[in-house]
Structures are given as C-alpha cells and as structure tokens.
C-alpha cells in the first residue's frame, strides 16, 4: 500500500485488493484467470501463501513465494557427513549437531548467513558434487544449496567455496 501511486503510474494493469474495503480476493478466480499464462510472485503471511499455493495447485504457473518463517516440516534425524570445499580442497566434518554454515564459518570460509532458517537465501552455495538434502524453503535450481539448514544424503558434498 505504500507504493500505490508508483504502481498506478508504472503499469495500467495493476489491481489492488484492500481487504479492509473489499474482503479477501477470490484466489480461485484469479488462478482460473491466470492459469498457465503468468508466473506468480507472493510474499506475506503464511495463510495467504498457503492459500495461493492451494489455489494454483495442479496448474502450470511457476509459483515464487517468499516466506518469513519456514513451513513446519519433519526430517529424518541428522547424520554426519563431510563437506569438501572446491577452491581450497579442504574437507570438513559436519557433525549431527552442526550446520554446514556454522562449520564453514568456523573454518574461515566466509559464507554469510542471515535468517538461518532456510528462507532468506543469503547463504546460497553452488553444489558441485554429491546429493544435497534440501531443507530450505527456497524454490531454486537444484544445484544450489542453503547450508544454514540443508544437509547431505551423500557422505561427501562438494561445494563451490
């Protein structure tokens, strides 16, 4: 709402749905209207994001959501593995209780973290070899990995750091 005038002057096809004036938007109707013809970008509270994902479920639109908190999910218990740093060749042990991000930081690899919950994307690394276990909430190319929360299915994960 802070950018209403800028949005109005930038694009003629902007629609605003102020909930306090007109209620919640009919997401099913919006999904029907834009079925397969638009990518969907959304951030906001979890109920809105979940409702949009449900409305577009089964459609071919690419959905891009930005969560402020991860969705509750359960994973298999952590296991230890090694991270190999492509540029230095160093192999580092990641214990069950460690995150890859913390191990890299302790060893001076200079990977920056933000949320540490797998939602902000700050710690993104490219995986060169191995099978990452993606525990983040970021829909991204599978070759990227978020070491604050993600782990490894393979004994060794080679990352571009």
Footprint of ligand FES on this chain (CB under 6 A)? 113-116, 118-123, 136, 146, 148
Residue 146 C-beta: closest distance to ligand FES, Å: 4
Residue 150 C-beta: closest distance to ligand FES, Å: 8
Which of residues 9 and 97 has its CB atom nearest to ligand FES in the complex?
A: 97
Inter-residue contact 64 to 39 (CB < 8 Å): yes
Quick one: which of 65, 44, 50, 58 has its CA closest to 138? 65
Which of residues 25 and 113 has its CB atom nearest to ligand FES in the complex?
A: 113
Number of H helices, E strands in the chain: 5, 9
Inter-residue contact 122 to 146 (CB < 8 Å): no
Residue 70 C-beta: closest distance to ligand FES, Å: 9
Quick one: which of 138, 135, 140, 137 has its CA closest to 150? 135
Residue 109 C-beta: closest distance to ligand FES, Å: 14
Which of residues 59 and 124 has its CB atom nearest to ligand FES in the complex?
A: 124
Which of residues 150 and 158 has its CB atom nearest to ligand FES in the complex?
A: 150
Exposed, middle or buried, 51 (CB in 10 Å: 0-12/13-18/19+)?
A: middle
């Amino acid at each position: 709402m802070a950018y209403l005038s800028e949005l109005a002057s930038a694009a003629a096809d902007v629609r605003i749905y102020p909930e306090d004036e007109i209620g919640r938007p009919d997401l099913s109707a919006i999904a029907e209207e834009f079925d397969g013809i638009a990518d969907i970008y959304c951030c906001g509270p979890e109920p809105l994001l979940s409702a949009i994902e449900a409305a577009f479920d089964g459609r071919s639109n690419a959905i891009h959501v930005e969560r402020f908190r991860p969705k509750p999910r359960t994973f298999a218990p952590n296991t230890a593995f090694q991270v190999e740093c492509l540029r230095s060749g160093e192999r580092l042990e990641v214990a069950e209780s460690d995150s890859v991000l913390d191990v890299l930081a302790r060893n001076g690899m200079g990977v920056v973290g933000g949320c540490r919950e797998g939602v902000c994307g700050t710690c993104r690394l490219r995986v060169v070899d191995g099978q990452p276990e993606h525990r983040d909430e970021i829909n991204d190319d599978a070759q990227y990995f978020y070491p604050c929360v993600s782990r490894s299915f393979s004994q060794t994960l080679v990352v571009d750091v």
